Amino acid sequence: AYVSTTASACTMAVPPSYSDLGKSAKDIFNKGYGYGILKLDIKTKSQSGVEFATSGSNNTDTGKSGGHLETKYKMKDLGLSFNQKWNTDNMLTTEITMEDQLAQGLKLSLDTSFVPNTGKKSAKLKTGYKREYMNVGCDLDFDMAGPTVHAAAVLGYEGWLAGYQLAFDTAKSKLTQNNFALGYKTGDFQLHTNVNDGTEFGGSIYQKVSSKLETAVHLAWTAGSNNTRFGIGAKYQLDKDASLSTKVNNACIVGVGYTQTLRPGVKLTLSAMIDGKNVNSGGHKVGLGFELEA
């Protein structure tokens, strides 16, 4: 989140993590849509402060159903949080996080998973540190063959952002990810560009036109290919309880989403995908989402 000082002073800010660069544009294209899926989300909180979240979904294309149950408990005095998840693929995950205890802005996490059916286990140690002008992180993904190191850093100054992300496979002594990003961010405008592994190029622009209208454009292409991918999206706040989202890409795939807050804690999402090149031949999809929070 950006924190402004006086107008005459330099803007001091904590830049986003590498994965959150260009997030506002991504949200325009991703949030409010759920083609081919019927989904129900329920969130509750006990008097003792334990948060419960359960989700169930059905893929109308494959007929496959799935779900998960999540519990989260925070010990604010110690800066600790405990998160446990179970899904219908019978995977159990546990995450323990400590934040702002050893140092302000430092976050440490241990994430483990276990699949009883196969006996497969995994663990990941995550570290993150953020302060004015910088946001860095390093994760150690443990594997029987050898751990993989994931590291990223973002530097920010007066709205300008520069980031680098890598992954190194220690077993093969090989760099498996090598990404760069550059961007600019103000209150109502964001520009993001990235290069992944020297072959994948991308960019996005986000603009908050007014208090009700947000727009975004994204471009992507691969070196050695003439196939440029692009899309245009918008979100319009109809009123305080309803919003309409729409997007279209260069393949003439049109997406429309409608979100309505029926009452506090109850949200309905309807979405549809239309193949603009084959309007009369079918292949279109619809989706329905229902969220309850108490």
pLDDT of residue 160: 96
pLDDT of residue 61: 83
For residue 236, the enclosing domain spans: 18-293
- Name the domain count of the chain: 1
pLDDT at 201 over 50: yes
List the Cα angle 19/20/21 in 5-degree steps: 95
pLDDT of residue 9: 37
CATH of the domain at 140: 2.40.160.10
User: Please, which pLDDT band fits residue 257 given cuts at 50, 70 and 90?
Assistant: very high
Asked whether residue 282 is domain-assigned, the answer is yes
When pLDDT is averaged across residues 96-112 and rounded to a whole number, the result is 95
When pLDDT is averaged across residues 185-214 and rounded to a whole number, the result is 96
| Intra-chain end-to-end CA distance of the chain, in Å | 27
pLDDT of residue 66: 94
User: Please, which pLDDT band fits residue 4 given cuts at 50, 70 and 90?
Assistant: very low
pLDDT at 197 over 90: yes
pLDDT at 156 over 80: yes
Query: pLDDT tens, 233-245?
Result: 999 999 999 999 9
pLDDT of residue 87: 94
pLDDT of residue 1: 37
Asked whether residue 1 is domain-assigned, the answer is no
Asked whether residue 8 is domain-assigned, the answer is no
pLDDT at 177 over 90: yes
Interstrand relation of 213-222 and 134-142 (parallel, antiparallel or unpaired):
unpaired
Asked whether residue 219 is domain-assigned, the answer is yes
Give the helix, strand, coil percentages of the chain, each rounded to 5. Answer: 5, 65, 35
201: closest CA among 175, 230, 176? 230
User: Please, which pLDDT band fits residue 190 given cuts at 50, 70 and 90?
Assistant: very high
Share of the chain above pLDDT 90, in %: 81
pLDDT of residue 280: 79
User: Please, which pLDDT band fits residue 5 given cuts at 50, 70 and 90?
Assistant: very low
Asked whether residue 61 is domain-assigned, the answer is yes
User: Please, which pLDDT band fits residue 71 given cuts at 50, 70 and 90?
Assistant: very high
Q: How far apart are CA 142 and CA 135, in angstroms?
A: 23
Per-residue tokens: 271: 């979405």
When pLDDT is averaged across residues 49-62 and rounded to a whole number, the result is 92
Asked whether residue 105 is domain-assigned, the answer is yes
When pLDDT is averaged across residues 265-292 and rounded to a whole number, the result is 90
pLDDT of residue 105: 93
Asked whether residue 45 is domain-assigned, the answer is yes
pLDDT at 203 over 90: yes
Contacts 24+ apart (CB under 8 A), 48-53: 49/73, 49/74
Query: pLDDT tens, 120-153?
Result: 899 999 999 999 999 999 999 997 778 999 999 9
Asked whether residue 3 is domain-assigned, the answer is no
Share of the chain above pLDDT 70, in %: 96
User: Please, which pLDDT band fits residue 62 given cuts at 50, 70 and 90?
Assistant: confident
Non-local (6+) Cβ contacts of 268 within 8 A are 259, 260, 261, 262, 288, 289, 290, 291
